[in-house]
Amino acid sequence: MHTLESLAARLASGQISARGLVEGCLERIADPAGEGARAFIVVHASQARAMADASDTLRRAGRGLGKYAGIPIGLKDLVDIAGETTRAGSVVLNGAPAATANAPVVARLLAAGFIPMGRTNMTEFAFSGLGINPHHGTPRSPWDRAAGRIPGGSSSGAAVSVADGMAFAGLGTDTGGSCRVPAAMCGIVGYKPTARRVPIAGVLPLSPTLDSIGPLANSVACCAVFDAVLAGEAPGPVAHLPLAGLRLAVPTNFVLDGLDADVAASFERALKRLADAGAAISAVRFGQFDEIARANAAGGFAGVEAYAWHRRLLAEKGDAYDPQVRRRILRGEAMSGADYLDLLAARNSIRASMDAATREYDAVLMPTCPLAPPPVARLEADAIEYNRVNLLQLRNPSLGNFLDRCAISLPCHVRGEAPVGLMLMGETMGDARLFSLAASVEAALGP
C-alpha cells in the first residue's frame, strides 16, 4: 500500500521517478490477468508519460509543480476533461460534443501536478451502488476475485484502480454513497465531503441537491490531501484526536438491520477496539433516520432530479440505457411538484432535528454497507435481487447525503476476510475534525 505522503517523499528524494510510477501503473492496467480493461474506460497512456517526464524534469531543475506532482490518479468518467466527451459510463452520449474546459476539480488536480491515468469506469450515469456496467464491463472487487464480486458503485473503477495499484488515488462522486460504497467493497478509504466545499461544475449531474465530489485512496491522510486539493485548500498533515473520552454514537435503529455475518462480526470487533482505546460509545435511537425513509417514500431527490436531466435523452435513446438505470430514472417521472416541495421542507426539518440530536457526540458510527460484496453474476441474472441489494448497500451512506454532512468509510475487516467498511458521519462543515477523528480510528483498527 502506497500513500500519497510516502510517494511524495520518495519522489522528492529521487528514490523513484514520476515516469517510473506511471509505467508501473500502465503495466498493471494492461495486465491481461488483471482488471484494468474493466476499471478504465479510457487510458491516457501517452499523456501520462509526457506529464511524468515533464514533472521529473521540473523536479530535477528545482521547479517542481508541488509536493504531490508526478503521482498517478484516476478520474471518474463523470467529469469534464477539455477536448473529450464526458460519457458517464454510458453509450448514449457517444458522439456528444467534447468538453471545452476542464471541470474545476480536474483543473485543481492538474495544477497540483497529479497525473491522470485515464477515465475510470462507473455505473451508468452514477445511478446505482453496485458498480455493474453492461456497456464497459464490471471490474471485480479484489476480494475473492475468482467468484467475481461487485466492486460497489457508482465509482467502481476508481476503487478497483486504487486497490490494484493502477492509480494511487481516484476522483469519485457521491450522491448516495458512491465514494464510500466502493471503498467498502474494495477495502480502501472513501470520503464524502460536505457538498458545498467542492464545486460540482463540469461534473455530469445525478442529483444536484445531493451530489458531492470526493476521493478514494489508501488511507485517511491520502483522502485528506486529495480533498483539500479538490476544495481549493492547502493540504496539510492530519492531526489525530485522542480517542480517549471521545463520544461516539452507534444508532440502534435502521442502520443495523439486515447485516450479514461478516459485516456484523467486523463491526462489533471495531467497536470493541475503539472502546478499548478509551472512546465512549453510546447506543442511540435516531428517529430522524425513520423520518428520512418516510420522506423519501415518494421517490427521493435522485429520481426526480435525474429524470429532469434525462427525460429528453430517454425519449430519443432510452433503449440504449442500462435497463436497471433506466428503470430507476423513470421512477422520477411520477413525482409531482407538490411532492418535491414537501421533500425539500422535510429535509430542512430533519436536518435541523438531527443537528440537535448529535450535538453531544463527536461522530456517528455505523457499517458502511450491510452486506459484503455479493457475486456480480447473481445480481445480473435477477432484477429483483439487483434492486434489493442495491437499496441495502446504499441505505446507510445515503443518510449523510440527505443530512448534508461529511462522512468517511474505512476498512475494518481483518486481512483475508471479506471487506467491510466502518463509516463515521460528522457534522455539516465538520470535515477537518472528521479527518482527525478518522485518522485516530484508522490507527486504532490497525491494518
Helix ranges (DSSP H) in 151-299: 156-163, 180-186, 220-230, 261-276, 287-295
Q: What are the tens digits of pLDDT across the range 90-115?
A: 999 999 999 999 999 999 999 999 99
Average pLDDT over residues 325-329: 98
Average pLDDT over residues 202-220: 98
Average pLDDT over residues 425-444: 98
Give the model's pLDDT for residue 44. Answer: 98
Reply yes or no on whether 154 is catalytic: yes
Three-state DSSP state, 382: coil
Whole-angstrom distance, CA of residue 241 vs CA of residue 234: 20
Give the model's pLDDT for residue 178. Answer: 98
Give the model's pLDDT for residue 447. Answer: 75
Whole-angstrom distance, CA of residue 79 vs CA of residue 122: 12
Average pLDDT over residues 241-266: 97
- 365 contacts 409 by C-beta, under 8 angstroms: no
Sign of CA pseudo-dihedral 379, 32, 142, 52: negative
Give the model's pLDDT for residue 64. Answer: 79
Query: Residue 375 pLDDT more than 80?
Result: yes
The type of residue at 284 is V
Reply yes or no on whether 336 is catalytic: no
For residue 108 the three cell numbers come to 485543481
pLDDT-based confidence at 1, cuts 50/70/90? confident
Query: Residue 247 pLDDT more than 90?
Result: yes
pLDDT-based confidence at 56, cuts 50/70/90? very high
For residue 126 the three cell numbers come to 452514477
Distance of CA 214 to the CA centre of its chain: 6
Percent of the chain with pLDDT over 70: 100
Q: What are the tens digits of pLDDT across the range 136-189?
A: 999 999 999 999 999 999 999 999 999 999 999 999 999 999 999 999 999 999
Give the model's pLDDT for residue 208. Answer: 98
Three-state DSSP state, 264: helix
With b for 16 or more beta-carbon neighbours within 10 A and e for fewer, the 368-386 pattern comes to bbbbbbbebeebbeeeeeb
Query: Residue 437 pLDDT more than 80?
Result: yes
Give the model's pLDDT for residue 278. Answer: 97
The type of residue at 418 is A
Whole-angstrom distance, CA of residue 227 vs CA of residue 236: 11
Average pLDDT over residues 34-49: 98
Fold of 4-230: Amidase signature (AS) enzymes (3.90.1300)
The type of residue at 165 is G
Reply yes or no on whether 178 is catalytic: yes
Q: Which residues is 75 bridged to in the sheet?
A: 119, 171
Beta carbons within 8 Å of 294's beta carbon, 6+ residues apart:
none
More confident residue, 438 or 1: 438
* Nearest-5° Cα angle at 344, 432 to 348: 50
**Per annotation, catalytic residue among 154, 156, 398, 436:** 154
Average pLDDT in the chain: 97
Three-state DSSP state, 267: helix
Give the model's pLDDT for residue 248. Answer: 98
- 360 contacts 415 by C-beta, under 8 angstroms: no
- 53 contacts 19 by C-beta, under 8 angstroms: yes
pLDDT-based confidence at 348, cuts 50/70/90? very high
Domain positions in the chain = 4-230
Give the model's pLDDT for residue 322. Answer: 98
**Per annotation, catalytic residue among 55, 178, 212, 219:** 178
Cell 454510458 -> residue: 90
**Per annotation, catalytic residue among 76, 128, 398, 409:** 76
- 98 contacts 85 by C-beta, under 8 angstroms: yes
Average pLDDT over residues 24-43: 98
